[in-house]
C-alpha cells in the first residue's frame, strides 16, 4: 500500500507539472518582428522634433527571452553616406542625434498587438535626453523622437548678419569674416597680398547691383541654435523676395564641444528639397575633396567661434580645416584649362563686372599654388550680432 501511494503521488505531481508546462507554452507571447533594419526605402518613417528626418537607419532587435523588451539602434544610412566600403578604415557615419554616430534605445514594456509592436520611453545618451514613441510591423516602422541636447552656450540663441560697415566700423567685408596670412604673390609689375586682394574684390565686385557682403545680408537674415541640436535660418530665395522664410528642421544640426561648434549636414534632407546643378569645374573640385569632405560631414564640420561682451560673434573655419583642403585643390590651378573654365563660370555670374574677373581674379587663381604653400593662417566665416528676443 505504501508503495502504491508513492507511485500515485508521483504520478499526480508529474501530471500537474505537465499541465503547467503546456499552459506556459500556450500563454508565452512571441515578438512578431525579428531583427530588422528600417531605412527610408525600407519602411522607416522617422520624425525628429515633429518633422521628417531622412537618410537614417533604425535596427530593431527583439529580446530573445522577453517579448516586452527590444533595442533600437539609430545610425546614419551607410548606403547614402557615399563611403567606399572597400576601404579598410571606414569613417563613422553621422547618426540621428548630432555628435553620435550610433545611439541605442532600450525598450521596456513593449506592447504586442497582433502583428504589431508598440513602444515608448525615455533614454539618456551622452548627456542627451531622448523621448521616443513608435510602432512597427514587418517591413514598416514609425518612430518619433524628441531630443534635448546637453546645455551649451549657443542653445536658444539667435544671431543676425552683421550689417556692412555698421557694427564693425570700417569693415567693408562684414558680415563676411576673412583672414588669410600668406606671402605676397606676383601681380602686374609688383606683388599683392591675398588678404587685401580678397577684401578689394568682395567690396568692389557686384552681383545684381550689390556687393558680395550686401548680397549675403540680403538673402540670409538670422541663424538660430535650437536646444534639440537643430540650426534654423531665416532666408530668401532671391533678393527680390519680400518676406523671409524659415528653413526646415533636420537639415543642419550642431553640437558644441571643447570651444568649437560641430556642424552636421543631412544631405539626404537637403537633396529632397533642393535641385542641385553642377558643372565640370565644380565636379573636379568636389571629386578631389571627396575623402576629406566625407570625414568632415560624418564627424561634424568643426567651426571655431568667438563671442564678445558686446553681443558680437565671429564663427569661422580655421587653418586646421581649410589648409588641408586648399593643399588638395591647389594642383588643379596649375592646369590652364581648368583655370579658364573656372573664369568663364565666374564671368557669367558677374555680369557687368566680368572685366574685373579677368584683370583681378585671374592672377590670384594662377598664383593659388604659391599662395597655399606659404599660408600660415586662414579663417573664413561670418560676423554676427545677437538678435533681440
**pLDDT tens-digit profile of 194-234?**
999 988 878 776 666 778 888 898 999 999 999 999 999 99
Q: Which range has the top average pLDDT, 144-158, 184-198, 345-359? A: 144-158
Asked whether 67 and 119 are in contact (CB, 8 A), the reply is: no
In a domain, 281, yes or no: yes
In a domain, 31, yes or no: no
State yes or no: pLDDT of 385 exceeds 70: yes
Percent of the chain with pLDDT over 90: 57
pLDDT attached to residue 84: 45
Residues 375 and 258 in one domain: yes
pLDDT attached to residue 277: 40
Torsion of CA 284, 377, 202, 365, to 10 degrees: -40
**Domain span at 315:** 157-386
Residues 111 and 173 in one domain: no
Q: Average pLDDT for residues 281-298, to the nearest whole number?
A: 56
In a domain, 23, yes or no: no
Number of Cβ atoms within 10 Å of the Cβ of 209: 10
Long-range pairs for 106-113: beta carbons < 8 A, 24 or more residues apart: 106/69, 106/71, 107/69, 107/70, 107/71, 107/72, 108/68, 108/69, 109/68, 110/31, 110/67, 110/68, 110/69, 110/70, 111/68, 112/29, 112/31, 112/32, 112/67, 112/68
In a domain, 264, yes or no: yes
- 252 band by pLDDT with thresholds 50, 70 and 90: very high
State yes or no: pLDDT of 148 exceeds 80: yes
Residues 169 and 312 in one domain: yes
- 85 band by pLDDT with thresholds 50, 70 and 90: very low
In a domain, 347, yes or no: yes
What residues contact residue 288 under an 8 Å CB cut-off, 6+ apart?
A: 328, 329, 332
Residues 142 and 163 in one domain: no
Residues 73 and 212 in one domain: no
Residues 163 and 139 in one domain: no
In a domain, 58, yes or no: yes
Q: What is the pTM of this model?
A: 0.82
Q: Average pLDDT for residues 120-143, to the nearest whole number?
A: 96
Residues 70 and 144 in one domain: yes
Residues 60 and 199 in one domain: no
Q: Which of 148, 172, 201 is the last residue of a domain?
A: 148
Residues 183 and 75 in one domain: no
Digit-coded pLDDT (tens) for 292-334: 555 666 778 999 999 988 889 999 999 999 999 999 989 999 9
Residues 141 and 175 in one domain: no
In a domain, 51, yes or no: yes
Residues 300 and 319 in one domain: yes
The mean-pLDDT minimum among 12-16, 64-68, 199-203 falls in 12-16
Residues 41 and 80 in one domain: yes
Total number of domains in the chain: 2
State yes or no: pLDDT of 22 exceeds 60: no
In a domain, 25, yes or no: no
What residues contact residue 276 under an 8 Å CB cut-off, 6+ apart?
A: none
Amino acid at each position: 500500500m505504501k508503495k502504491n501511494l508513492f507511485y500515485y503521488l508521483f504520478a499526480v505531481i508529474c501530471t500537474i507539472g505537465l499541465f503547467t508546462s503546456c499552459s506556459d507554452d500556450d500563454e508565452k507571447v512571441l515578438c512578431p518582428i525579428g531583427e530588422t533594419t528600417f531605412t527610408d526605402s525600407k519602411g522607416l518613417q522617422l520624425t525628429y522634433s515633429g518633422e521628417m528626418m531622412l537618410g537614417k537607419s533604425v535596427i530593431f532587435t527583439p529580446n530573445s527571452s522577453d517579448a516586452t523588451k527590444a533595442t533600437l539602434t539609430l545610425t546614419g544610412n551607410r548606403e547614402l553616406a557615399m563611403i567606399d566600403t572597400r576601404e579598410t578604415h571606414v569613417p563613422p557615419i553621422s547618426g540621428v542625434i548630432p555628435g553620435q554616430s550610433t545611439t541605442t534605445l532600450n525598450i521596456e514594456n513593449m506592447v504586442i498587438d497582433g502583428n504589431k509592436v508598440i513602444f515608448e520611453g525615455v533614454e539618456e545618451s551622452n548627456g542627451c535626453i531622448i523621448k521616443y514613441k513608435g510602432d512597427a510591423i514587418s517591413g514598416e516602422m514609425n518612430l518619433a523622437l524628441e531630443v534635448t541636447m546637453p546645455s551649451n552656450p549657443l542653445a536658444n540663441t539667435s544671431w543676425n548678419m552683421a550689417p556692412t560697415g555698421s557694427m564693425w566700423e570700417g569693415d567693408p567685408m562684414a558680415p563676411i569674416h576673412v583672414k588669410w596670412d600668406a606671402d605676397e604673390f606676383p601681380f602686374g609689375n609688383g606683388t599683392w597680398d591675398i588678404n587685401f586682394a580678397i577684401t578689394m574684390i568682395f567690396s568692389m565686385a557686384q552681383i545684381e547691383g550689390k556687393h558680395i557682403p550686401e548680397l549675403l545680408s540680403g538673402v540670409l537674415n538670422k541663424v538660430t541654435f535650437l536646444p534639440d541640436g537643430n540650426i534654423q535660418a531665416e532666408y530668401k530665395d532671391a533678393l527680390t523676395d519680400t518676406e523671409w522664410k524659415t528653413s526646415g528642421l533636420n537639415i543642419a544640426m550642431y553640437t558644441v564641444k571643447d570651444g568649437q561648434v560641430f556642424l552636421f549636414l543631412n544631405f539626404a534632407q537637403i537633396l529632397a528639397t533642393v535641385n542641385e546643378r553642377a558643372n565640370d569645374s565644380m565636379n573636379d573640385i568636389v571629386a578631389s575633396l571627396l575623402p576629406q569632405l566625407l570625414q568632415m560631414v560624418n564627424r561634424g564640420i568643426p567651426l571655431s567661434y568667438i563671442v564678445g561682451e558686446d553681443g558680437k560673434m565671429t564663427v569661422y573655419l580655421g587653418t586646421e580645416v581649410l589648409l588641408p583642403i586648399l593643399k588638395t585643390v591647389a594642383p588643379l590651378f596649375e592646369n590652364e584649362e581648368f583655370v579658364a573654365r573656372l573664369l568663364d563660370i565666374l564671368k557669367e555670374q558677374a555680369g557687368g563686372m566680368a572685366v574685373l574677373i579677368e584683370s583681378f581674379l585671374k592672377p590670384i587663381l594662377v598664383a593659388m599654388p604659391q599662395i597655399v604653400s606659404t599660408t600660415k593662417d586662414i579663417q573664413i566665416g561670418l560676423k554676427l550680432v545677437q538678435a533681440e528676443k
